[in-house]
Amino acid sequence: MRMKKIVADIYIFAVVALGTASLVAASLAVKAGSVDPLMFVLLLGLAAAAQRNPVMLFRSSAISMSFAINVAAYVLFGVGAALWVNVVVAAVNAFTPKPKPARKALFNFGQLSISTTLAATVYGLVGGKTSPTDLTSTVFAVAISAAVYFIANSTLTAVVIALTSDAKLGAIWRQNFSWMPVNFLATAVNGAALALANQALGVFGAAQFVQPLGDAW
């Protein structure tokens, strides 16, 4: 058990360190003037509200619609902006619905940062543009990037649960994540729609796509 705890501590530290490095590197790469301040502030506010009010599902399960805001951020402004959206999400998650231990809060930040960095990178590799240029290529790239995000997010989280409990990795993934791919895909497409609406109609047009998030709640 002591060895398992040491491995868990090393794993958590590595995830937090890699997530922090991703945030710093992506932030330094953001070009001045490439981010619309008004839209960015709107995304931060929406992410905080979505994380504060997750959609409750069966038993004690819930899904946060903040992933849609995360997708919109990297589609519109790139990974740097999306990682700062994650900072807000992680901060809200650290205190809601109840305060979490610092180690858990930091791990959540790290795994969110890693998952988003991988998703945003794949979004660009499969033809997604920042900012988006057309519906078809954007939705296709977002769908692929959402799959990458889901795999990274669920795997990183399942591993830490396995290392800090007696449950088996496969059982953890099946119970907690096997039912979620469709939810992630639908949420990601809504995020893409929000980004495209902003491109076509500006920040007030993008605000119209907040309604589906409210409908889900």
Beta strands (DSSP E) in 66-109 are: none
∠ Cα 120 124 126 (to 5°): 115
Q: Determine which helix (DSSP H) or strand (DSSP E) holds 62, and give its type and residue range.
A: strand 62-63
Q: What's CA 94's distance to the chain center, in Å?
A: 15
The radius of gyration computed from the CA coordinates of the chain, to the nearest angstrom, equals: 17
The CB-side HSE value for 18 (13 A sphere, CA atoms) comes to 16
Q: What is the pLDDT along the chain (217 residues), one digit of tens a residue?
A: 678 888 999 999 999 999 999 999 999 998 878 888 888 998 899 889 888 877 666 555 566 778 888 998 999 999 999 999 999 999 999 998 789 999 999 999 999 999 999 999 999 999 988 888 788 888 899 999 999 999 999 999 999 999 988 888 888 888 888 777 777 887 787 777 777 776 665 655 555 555 555 555 5
Contacts of 24 (CB under 8 A, 6+ apart): none
